[in-house]
Amino acid sequence: MAMKDAVWLARPFRSLTWVAAALAVVVPAAPALSQDTLGEARVRKMEAEIRALQRKVFPGGDGKFFQPEIKQPNNSGGTSATGQPASSAVTDLLTRMDALETRMAGLTAQIEQNSNRLAQLEASDAATASAASLAAGEGVAAPAETSVAPATGTTPQANLDAMTGGASKPATTTTPATTSAPPAERVSGVSAVIKPETEDSADDEYTYGFRLWDAKFHPEAQQQLKLFLDKHPTHWRATWGRNLLGRAYLDDGNAREAAKWFLQNYQADKTSARAPDSLLYLGVAMKRLEDTKRACIALAEFSETYAAETAGRLKGLYDTTRNGLDCSG
């Protein structure tokens, strides 16, 4: 009796032990199931984002770029897959994550390739446009006209600055230059100007420059007069040559280069035959450059140094130059 009672009493404890063991197995399964559900949701979200990105990169959505989301099982052998052990949830998640990473890498590479091709196309278009522009003659800077600087101890620009005490600086101007060969009419016109041949070859050089200037072939006159001054800097016609060279530049629209020659001729010898003309034309050049201060200084010095010329031979040019200038300041 005692043995039976002991066995009977022990049964509830064994039942409780089995229940506790079962609970120990079942209870942890709930958090694991919750974690698998969250992981599944995250993977589904990533897959949806990848599909959206893939549609943006590859618009059209044909089978060439999109993998079908539902595939028919390969059951050609007639055998059923029933009874095959299913993979664990963690294994499925890892497999899908690998597939997502592979697809993401492929899309990133495709985007980089497309960007590189677009950059190459833009560079090619820019090069083609630049070549076409050059072929059409656009954007090609014309060579600047060169001139021979007057041969003096100080530069004309320094002398101009000295006249105003360095109060003002000249503005930068662009000198028009001829970029093409002269037309046949101009060549024939220059050829028609006769160069004299006398016993004074130096005077002949100056006279030829004067004739070119008088015929309004200003660039040719500039070249000829520079040649004369280079070969005969001390000739009695030199003061005429420097003054006329300034006139050739002034009539050609280059007032700044003209001013340099006028100033040089005036400072070379204030008693020379064309010194008064050069000082007055210096005022004219400054007026055309809208440098009122220098123009007024030149006119004031002209009226003081050459009072007789102010009321005589150069009166008309002097009055015309002063007209419109406010030299009271």
CATH of the domain at 219: 1.25.40.10
Would the pLDDT of 293 be above 50? yes
- pLDDT of amino acid 218: 96
Residue 96 within a domain: no
Distance CA 156, CA 167 (A): 16
In this structure, what token pair is assigned to residue 7? 């066995």
Please check whether residue 124 is in contact with residue 116, taking contact to mean a CB–CB distance below 8 angstroms.
Answer: no
Spacing of C-alpha 118 from chain mean position = 22
User: Is the distance from CB of 140 to CB of 134 less than 8 angstroms?
Assistant: yes
Q: Is residue 64 part of a domain?
A: no
Half-sphere exposure (Cβ direction) of 156: Cα atoms closer than 13 Å: 20
pLDDT for 71 equals: 52
Range with the poorest average pLDDT among 1-10, 246-255, 307-316: 1-10
pLDDT of residue 140: 36
The answer to whether residue 24 is domain-embedded is yes
Residue 236 has, within 13 A of its CA and on its CB side, a CA count of 4
Q: How far apart are CA 17 and CA 171, in angstroms?
A: 107
Task: Give me the pLDDT at residue 150, please.
Answer: 42
160, 303: one domain = yes
Residues 161 and 287 in one domain: yes
Which element (helix H / strand E) includes 267? Answer: helix 255-268
Once rounded to an integer, what is the mean pLDDT over residues 48-75? Answer: 61
Calculate the average pLDDT of the chain. Answer: 74
The CA distance from 210 to 243, in Å, is 11
Query: H helices then E strands: how many in the chain?
Result: 13, 0
Residue 120 covered by a domain: no
Give 90 or 142, the one with higher predicted confidence.
90
How confident is the model at residue 137, as a pLDDT? 41
Which residue in 226, 225, 216 sits closest to 190, CA to CA?
Answer: 216
Same domain? 26 vs 160: no
Q: Distance between CA atoms of 40 and 90, rounded to whole angstroms?
A: 10
Pairwise CA distance, residues 132 & 203, whole Å = 51
Is 60 exceeded by the pLDDT of residue 98? Answer: yes
Q: Is the pTM of this model over 0.75?
A: no
Q: Is the pLDDT of residue 328 over 90?
A: no
Query: Is residue 71 domain-resident?
Result: no
Structural domain containing residue 248: 156-165+188-322
Please say if the pLDDT value at position 79 is more than 70: no
From the centroid of its chain, how far is CA 126?
A: 14
Residue 289 contacts residue 255 (beta carbons within 8 Å) = yes
Question: 99-153 pLDDT, tens per residue?
Answer: 777 777 777 777 777 777 777 777 666 656 555 544 444 333 333 333 344 444 4
| Total domains present in the chain | 2
User: Model confidence over 174-219: pLDDT tens digits?
Assistant: 444 444 557 888 999 999 999 999 999 999 999 999 999 999 999 9
Who has greater pLDDT, 4 or 294? 294
47 part of a folded domain:
no
More confident: 279 or 165: 279
- Say yes or no to pLDDT of 240 above 60: yes
pLDDT at residue 95, rounded to an integer? 77
List the structure tokens of 59. 């618009």
Domain membership flag for residue 76: no
- Write the DSSP assignment of 276-296 as a string of letters: HHHHHHHHHHHHHTT-HHHHH
Picking from 284, 269, 272, 274, the residue whose alpha carbon sits closest to that of residue 318 is 284
Assess whether 161 and 30 both reside in one domain: no
Residue 252 in this model has a pLDDT that exceeds 80: yes
Task: Give a yes or no: residue 151 inside a domain.
Answer: no
pLDDT at 25 over 60: no
What is the predicted pLDDT for the residue at 147? 39
